Amino acid sequence: MADLINRKVINTTLSKDNAEKLRTLSKRKGIPQTRVLDRAVDTLYQKEEASMEGAAKHKGVAICIANNKGGVGKTTSTAAFADLLSKRGKHVLVIDADPQGNLSGRFGYSADSPEQAIPNYLGSLIEDRFRGTEHQPLGYFINHLDEFPRIDIIYSDIRLDGVYTLLTTDSIASATMFRKLLAEIRSLDKYDYILIDARPAVNNEVSSIFIGSDYVIIPVEASWDSIVGANTIYQFMAKSRELNPALKLLGVFFTKVQDRTTSFHTLLPMVKGNWDKDLFQTKIPRNQDVVNAENEGYPVTYRKPACKASKAYVKLLDEMVERIDNDEKQND
């Protein structure tokens, strides 16, 4: 610290005890009382700065959106969550872990022909890391989106289906593949949230994603097959907890809801019975604007922010963030 030159402490008021401590420290250190005060303020300031820096650190909360039944709004919801989180100032990495690549299509990538296929997609990242070569830095596989400045994405396409055969063994290396990938991503200290769109399945690749994730969230449609698929995923989580005891169900929510239909009101008690405390209050309504936005290749919350579905996603995200915050407070 620079020497103090002609510095005066004017109108300084200390308690009697602190005044005595100040005099004692001054004698012990052999420095003026003003210098002791200066050092104390400097030390306090540095601690405060370090505290603020720690609070601002990106936590990289990993959430997998999953259901064993396809067509329930899994990809639609993942894209909406990413868009809304980014609008709240959060930095989000989206991982399209479904070989169908529909989530990639919401953020500008579609490999309709071999000529359009990019080399830096999720499949090449898995091959690079699983085989132990690691010749490409992680940033090579992360794609930055000009239209969504706070969202990055690891793309996917149908080639991923073949790569997933690497994860068909029951080895620890296979089971922990996504845990290692997510740990590497978190080490970048860049993302507040990591959203993973898993394919509708219960297999080794989905288990590997669960083993690396913090939470699973399950979208469910008002149909028997969708509810069975949700229950299958929920039971499958138990297998992943053998290697990831901290894995939690963040919640279950209804998608494509038509309140006046008999099927919804018939199945609602069953869903409440299975996941009463886990069921989110917010329901995502069936809305043509969702289809229109996705046909244009965008998240509905980005293309149609004022529509009913987008407004519901805002409320649903509020519930999700509140649950995560409460969970973190309980773990502190």
Q: What are phi and psi of 152, to 5 degrees?
A: -115, 160
Nearest one of 11, 69, 63, 126 to 317, comparing CA atoms: 63
> pLDDT tens across 250-279, in order?
999 999 988 777 777 787 777 777 777 899
* Stretch (H or E) spanning 57: none
> pLDDT tens across 192-234, in order?
999 999 999 999 999 999 999 999 999 999 888 988 899 999 9
> pLDDT tens across 272-321, in order?
777 778 999 999 999 999 999 999 999 999 999 999 999 999 999 999 99
| CATH no., domain 58-331 | 3.40.50.300
Name the more confident of 328 and 5.
328
- Cα–Cα dist 71/220, whole Å: 9
Q: Is 119 helix (H, G, I), strand (E, B) or coil?
A: coil
- Cα–Cα dist 177/168, whole Å: 11
Sheet with 92-97: list strands edge to edge. 143-144, 151-154, 92-97, 193-198, 61-65, 215-221, 248-255
pTM: 0.81
User: Mean pLDDT throughout 139-165?
Assistant: 93
pLDDT at 329 over 50: yes
Residue 65 forms beta bridges with which residues? 197, 217
| CA 227 to centroid of chain Cα atoms | 24
CB 192, CB 60: distance < 8 Å: yes
CB 221, CB 73: distance < 8 Å: yes
Q: What are phi and psi of 201, to 5 degrees?
A: -165, 165
pLDDT value at residue 113: 66
Comparing 10-19, 115-124, 158-167, which segment has the lowest mean pLDDT?
Answer: 10-19
The 10 Å Cβ neighbour count of residue 299 is 29
| CA 112 to centroid of chain Cα atoms | 28
pLDDT value at residue 50: 55
CA distances in angstroms from 7 to 2, 15, 26, 92, 242, listed in the order given: 12, 22, 16, 48, 63
pLDDT value at residue 4: 38
> pLDDT tens across 74-122, in order?
999 999 999 999 999 999 999 999 999 999 999 988 877 667 888 999 9
User: Mean pLDDT throughout 45-74?
Assistant: 77
Residue 63 forms beta bridges with which residues? 195, 215
- Cα–Cα dist 38/304, whole Å: 55
pLDDT value at residue 174: 84
The 10 Å Cβ neighbour count of residue 117 is 16
As a whole-number percent, the residues of the chain with pLDDT over 90 amount to 59
Q: Where are the domains of the chain?
A: 16-54, 58-331
Nearest one of 314, 328, 251, 319 to 85, comparing CA atoms: 314
> pLDDT tens across 229-245, in order?
999 999 999 989 999 99
User: Mean pLDDT throughout 43-48?
Assistant: 66
- Cα–Cα dist 232/276, whole Å: 17
In one-letter notation, the amino acid at residue 266 is T
- Cα–Cα dist 40/130, whole Å: 51
> Dihedral of CA 73/78/82/85: which sign?
positive
Nearest one of 307, 268, 315 to 286, comparing CA atoms: 307
pLDDT value at residue 1: 37
Sequence-distant (6+) residues with CB within 8 A of 230 are 67, 68, 69, 218, 220, 252
